[in-house]
Chain A
Amino acid sequence: MSDNDLLCVEDLRFAYDGERTPVVDGVSLRLGRGEVLAILGPNGAGKTTLLYILLGILKAQSGQIWLDGRELSACPRNEISRVVGLVPQSEHVAFEYSVEEYVLMGRAPHLGMLELPTQDDDRLAVEALDQLGLMALRHRSMLELSGGERQMVVLARALAQQARLLLMDEPLAHLDLSNKGRILAVIRRLSEAGVAVVFTTHEPDMVQGVAHRLLLMREGQVVASGRTEAVLTSEALSQTYGVPIRVIDVEGVSLVRLEAML
């Protein structure tokens, strides 16, 4: 691995307890600082499982993960959490936390078990809200937010975490076009600020211009992996999804369409 790699993954294999077929099967990837990787694949391809392995929530049966030059399995939980943040696909909120208090929880990896957040932590939480244009929600209850607002607040929580690698599980799902645009713009800004992002999505049309790299998965295995322009092809997508798909080039923009719709 090169020194520039923030994340380096070799030949991961993972199967759930008692299951024979692996959910992640021989996945390798590397990611530098500020790089954005999009993962595409049909439902059940193992995308979310892969994210949870990268986060250390699930332990791969074989393969290796280096995070910032250290083996992931050797890192204490708190240290992983200072480097890697997660924006889960949907987050159930059980109690009436205010948006600000909720975002403040993102500071937990930087605090000891018995510590309370300091004024600096408060400031970082507010900055994260400000960065996403969410200051108007600051004192609102988490239970009153719409789905899109809640997704943005969970993202703010991850920003307050100051992670250098952000894992986002289907950040575009259930969002209208304007919210999708905001999320993609945030990913771009993070990348420019040196934060690496891995996100999964079901929308091949949304990755160009945001993701530097693309990983196509099917049944736990890598179908294609590399620079987005090189991977976003009719052949690779058709093979990934098992239906005929055509990538149409319109003035340098790749439009992804199902053959059946053309």
Chain B
Amino acid sequence: MGRRAGLAFLLAGLLVIAGISLFIGRYPAPYWTPPSLLGSDELARRLVLSLRLPRLLTAIMMGSSLAAAGLIFQMVFRNPLVEPGLLGVSQGAAFGAALSILALQASPLMTEFSAAVFALLGLSLSFLLARRLRYGGWVLRLILAGIAVSALFGAGVGMLKYAADPLSELPEITFWLLGGLWGVTWQEALFLLPPVGLSLILAWALRWRMNLLTLSDESAISLGSRLGRERSLVLIGAVVAVAAVTAVGGIVGWVGLIIPHVARRLFGANATYALPAAILTGGIFVLVCDTAARALLGGEIPLGVLTSFLGALGFALLMMHTGLRLRP
């Protein structure tokens, strides 16, 4: 299969899985809601259109943003082991959410808002600190600053958990930290649409150009890249979407780290193909995990647990097989 056909296949796969996922659930009985019910059963219709559809769209947006951002981070930092939460975004969001749960006994919406604010704060602090560091090149400084800021917010989260009421607040914080989309409505889906849409469009538009960022600084500049500007542009574009989806869905690990590997494995390193492949694969992956999270058991399985479990399994399987590359 060629790479274009591969992308078409992934897109078709995403649409088919999305279509099926809408009717998977525990009403009227596990695990299937017959589509014919939509015409006759008001509850089934509201369930599908008001709960499952926005949640499904949110899951796709979450997977696509995390995977695209992961690919971009790995390219900009020229390191296949970084993930998009690196620059203080994940821990910032976690701190914001925990603070809101603890101090404000806030509504879910308030918690999301607080998480988004602190995610962006973590990102800004990482950039500001990186500019003040006097050690190593730009890439190393940013990574170090991200680690320091993440540790700072991580410590803050630890303090908040310690101070939290172990019967009411602590479980809520823990559950948020494990990630999940259980409370998602159209409100969240529409809130995510602008940042995720803009971020993905920007990345798509720059998908060939961003290959230059994987070269050495000198090479990239010698090929016409205004390196500082282009790096900041793709990074900030990617990370704003990550901050938004993390604020809504909590910390969902592994997607941003593993899906880019899968995409590169199948489509090669060239981001012209690897980026759309990551966007589609990420969307499929989180959608499948979230469908399992809500339908498999009577209660919600934390999404982050499933993405880690299935991601690790799939990843190991993929890496054990050679020759899985699509034709150029």
A77-101 residues at the B interface, CB under 8 angstroms:
77-78, 80-82, 84-86, 88, 91-98, 100-101
Minimum CB–CB distance from B204 to chain A (whole Å) comes to 10
Instruction: Indicate if A113 sits at the interface (CB-CB under 8 A).
Output: yes
Bound CA–CA A109/B224 (angstroms): 5
Q: Is the CB of A96 within 8 A of B219?
A: no
Residues of B within 8 A of A (CB): 75, 78-80, 205-209, 211-212, 214-219, 221-226, 230, 264, 268-270, 272, 328
A205-233 residues at the B interface, CB under 8 angstroms:
none
User: Which residues on the A side are within 8 Å of B214 (C-beta)?
Assistant: 93-95, 97
Given known contacts A95-B75, A95-B80, A105 and B212 CB-to-CB distance under 8 angstroms: yes
Minimum CB–CB distance from A104 to chain B (whole Å) comes to 9
Bound CA–CA A69/B165 (angstroms): 73
Bound CA–CA A49/B188 (angstroms): 52
User: Which residues on the B side are within 8 Å of A78 (C-beta)?
Assistant: 224
Instruction: Indicate if A153 sits at the interface (CB-CB under 8 A).
Output: no
Q: Is the CB of A108 within 8 A of B225?
A: yes
Bound CA–CA A111/B219 (angstroms): 16
Q: Is the CB of B216 within 8 A of A113?
A: no
Q: Is the CB of A101 within 8 A of B212?
A: no
Interface residue from B205, B206, B215, B221 paired with A105 (Cβ < 8 Å): B215
Q: Is the CB of B212 within 8 A of A84?
A: no
User: Which residues on the A side are within 8 Å of B222 (C-beta)?
Assistant: 55, 57, 81, 84-86, 88
Interchain Cβ contacts under 8 Å between A and B, 26 examples:
A55-B221, A55-B222, A56-B221, A57-B221, A77-B221, A81-B222, A85-B222, A86-B219, A88-B219, A91-B215, A91-B219, A95-B75, A95-B264, A96-B268, A98-B268, A98-B270, A101-B268, A105-B212, A106-B223, A108-B209, A108-B212, A108-B224, A108-B225, A116-B208, A139-B328, A154-B219
Minimum CB–CB distance from B77 to chain A (whole Å) comes to 9
Instruction: Indicate if A117 sits at the interface (CB-CB under 8 A).
Output: yes
Bound CA–CA A111/B205 (angstroms): 13
Instruction: Indicate if A161 sits at the interface (CB-CB under 8 A).
Output: yes
